Amino acid sequence: MNNQITNVYIWDMDETLILLKSLLNGSYAEAFAGLKDAQKGVEIGKMWEKHILQISDDFFFYEQVCLEIENCNKPFLEALSKYDDGQDLSDYDFNQDGFSPPHDDLNKRKLAYRHRIIANKYKQGLHNILDQEMMDVWDALYKMTDEYTDGWLSSARALLEQCLAGNEDPTICNTIAGGVVRSNATGSRHINVLVTSGSLIPSLVKCLLFRLDNLISHENVYSSWDVGKLQCFQWIKERFDNRNTRFCAIGDGWEECEAAQAMNWPFIKLKCSWGKSC
């Protein structure tokens, strides 16, 4: 009998793992009573917003899938996997395949193809997508943001890493690609899952840009945009649940708090002086 303990950590993204909205609207700087340059924060937020949208459009089909065609946002990349017939896509022309709203099986298959490409690009990382000039711009923006927010981004990464390690000596843990760790000492498994209220493609791009992709795999990113966080939590429970699985939700908002309560999961509330928490 397998007695391995699995710990699943369900994270919120915005104002939890990353800061963006509070930079754009100035509420982050306001909380420091004049000690932070509010305009600089807004400019940083606008630069992130620009890069997120540009990369989403240029490399991840966002404009084609979600802006030109309605009802194409899905809650996770595997949602249409049963429609993917495994066709070789190396010479596939995504601009000429006649993709339209995915209400029939043919267009669901075409969207599934796009999701497969998105998943592969996520696994490859931005260093295989962006040129060196853009990589340098991204690196500089990340460092500027981390400095402006007093290490918020690097602290968030450290928390994700600690959860994966189960607060154990990292020398006794084997890291598995995609944000899953198994401990040799206890036989336990630790998994990071993201549930974000944003639409799926920009959320995946945020994971890449904010350097979360090696800590949260693409199949563990869920968008509650259309379905709500409780539905996402229920899917996660169905996917991972057995008698040795433990769930914990972390975030700053009322929706994830109420969803965790409905699931009878512990909820760790992130309290921000510039935001609201439950």
Question: DSSP label at 94?
Answer: T
Instruction: Compute CA distances 79 → 74, 76, 135, whole Å.
Output: 7, 6, 31
Distance CA 117, CA 60 (A): 8
Residue 14 catalytic?
Answer: yes
Q: Which is the catalytic residue, given 14, 84, 146, 213?
A: 14
- The answer to whether 12 is a known ligand-binding residue is yes
Q: Are 205 and 222 in contact (CB under 8 A)?
A: no
Residue 12 catalytic?
Answer: yes
Q: Are 97 and 110 in contact (CB under 8 A)?
A: yes
* Whole-angstrom Cα Rg for the chain: 19
Distance CA 37, CA 35 (A): 7
Residue in this structure with the two tokens 């539905």, named with its chain if needed = 231
Please provide residue 100's backbone torsions phi and psi, each rounded to the nearest 5 degrees.
Answer: -140, 180
Q: Are 37 and 276 in contact (CB under 8 A)?
A: no
- The answer to whether 91 is a known ligand-binding residue is no
- The answer to whether 252 is a known ligand-binding residue is yes
Q: Which is the catalytic residue, given 12, 57, 84, 213?
A: 12
Distance CA 243, CA 132 (A): 48
Distance CA 194, CA 222 (A): 6
Strand (E) positions, the chain?
6-11, 173-176, 180-183, 189-196, 221-223, 245-251, 267-269
**Token reading at 18:** 């990353």
Question: Residues within the annotated binding site?
Answer: 12, 14, 252
Binding-site members for Mg(2+) are 12, 14, 252
Among all residues, which ones are annotated catalytic? Answer: 12, 14
